[in-house]
Structure 1
């Protein structure tokens, strides 16, 4: 049953097998195609087509970071290749502005990956820690299965459309991933940063990467997480914040650009009110 676009509490609890949400009479209007919001206590605050399989654009890079952080040392150094640069430029993807021959640490590449959403950084990390992109994508899919993301399939490390082999996920699965990823202090520090600067050295150029997640500047207590966009996926936003003593994690899939940030802010505040009113 739907109540103002919100799945009824009993039906939603059966779908996801967790605590039912609080009364939803005052839930914000959500125009994204899919949405899901849950807090660290297991209470679901919003759901809209949350188990529908859809492309998630650059939210894929959250799993890329998750896999890298399980294997890499932050001080590891990776040399950027011409293929890394060409891959991003040739596919019209967002880039971190990396240059052939640069040598950057994993720590810095994670900022280029998650703040700037650089497909060049994603390509370099996948190539190095697969080793090779095919092996890396296999690791991403194994990690998804281990996290219970049963409706997720990855085809690359950056979220760009793959002709004939499109990947997919769901709002529920993306929130599961974000909850686990945010438990890693390095991941949390990266996605919670508004800007990251890499000073020029003899082995790499200077870079300044600003976070594309405008929610960090719109509201207090925001923890991240990641923006995304492709024509097929629409504008996406995976977000998290501290509200009323709990961590609230949510996602909007298939939304409009500026609207996703406004909606996420309202959903965070709504969840906080529901928790406080407990």
Structure 2
């Protein structure tokens, strides 16, 4: 499924936020999930009787600052996560890259998105874009071309980058997560996988990076043409951003994964982070996320 090309405009996008992290020096690979792990729905947490209905196959809600679990449904069940993968891509890139670093778009980046049937930011080969702008291309229209360009550059090479993604997952305690690429598209060798709980842990950590938080909360972003690149315009696929207090973070979809959503919001002075996996109706994941965010303060004060 492809995004429609956004109308090109000539307004400049400012990059004022920077980050700096060290890159893990090791890489580990987790074992593939068993049939029982991908189909069973046990969770170490039982949701309150008064919690909103959650129709996705798995979900998890937590207090981002304290780490306290507020809701869980099959929270530890391993399953495909589609484009939620791109949150880790953004996080790993900013551990070694500056937002002002330039990345040249190669023909294989555009072909990768086209051939794989992934969503695309319609990046043009030969354009040289700052990493900060490519994060918008990665997170708003969920550009597989942007993911490929970033992984190819900062692996170096896609396999090297995926190894960094898996190493970073281990360092964050995401022991039920395994990435096979930088975008979440299915591969002939199989899909990557994670859990609602692991993705919530990642979401809370990624949103501590100011640039990721800023990008994830942007509904539309325009890039003015320069001598280095043409003009672009990207619209966020996250409908939750229309709700007061919503922060982001990432949408996803493949046939195997269903509709997914990593989300966050501020409620009663607290930051809440949640994940919904395996939803069968696209719009319902946003309604469910909003319901969970509204219900959580009641649960927390009970």
TM norm structure 2: 0.83
CA distance in 1, matches of 2:85, 2:42: 26
* Stretches of structure 1 lacking an aligned partner (at least 5 in a row): 1-5, 14-20
CA distance in 1, matches of 2:115, 2:188: 14
Higher helix share: 1
CA distance in 1, matches of 2:104, 2:121: 14
RMSD: 1.5
Query: Which residue among 287, 291, 299 is the counterpart of 1:266?
Result: 291
Shift, 1:203, TM fit = 2.2
The alignment covers a number of residue pairs equal to 260
Q: Does 1:250 align with 2:283?
A: no
Name the residue aligned to 2:244. Answer: 220
TM norm structure 1: 0.90
Instruction: Tell me if the contact between 1:41 and 1:246 (Cα under 8 Å) persists in the aligned partners.
Output: no
Q: Does 1:205 align with 2:230?
A: yes
Instruction: Tell me if the contact between 2:45 and 2:71 (Cα under 8 Å) persists in the aligned partners.
Output: no
Name the residue aligned to 2:128. Answer: 103
Q: Does 1:34 align with 2:58?
A: yes
CA distance in 2, matches of 1:117, 1:184: 19
CA distance in 1, matches of 2:251, 2:146: 16
SS in 2 for 1:55: coil
1:41-90 CA-partner distances (Å, limit 9, x unpaired): 33322111010000000000000000001110110001100000000011
Shift, 1:274, TM fit = 2.4
Name the residue aligned to 1:18. Answer: none
Q: Does 1:240 align with 2:276?
A: no
Name the residue aligned to 2:143. Answer: 118
1:160-200 CA-partner distances (Å, limit 9, x unpaired): 00112321100010000001001111111110111110011
Name the residue aligned to 1:183. Answer: 208
Runs of 4+ with deviation above 2 angstroms: 40-43, 272-275
Instruction: Tell me if the contact between 1:87 and 1:120 (Cα under 8 Å) persists in the aligned partners.
Output: yes
Tell which has more relative contact order, 1 or 2 (C-alpha 8 A, sep 6+).
Answer: 2
SS in 1 for 2:294: helix
Name the residue aligned to 2:31. Answer: none
CA distance in 2, matches of 1:242, 1:7: 29
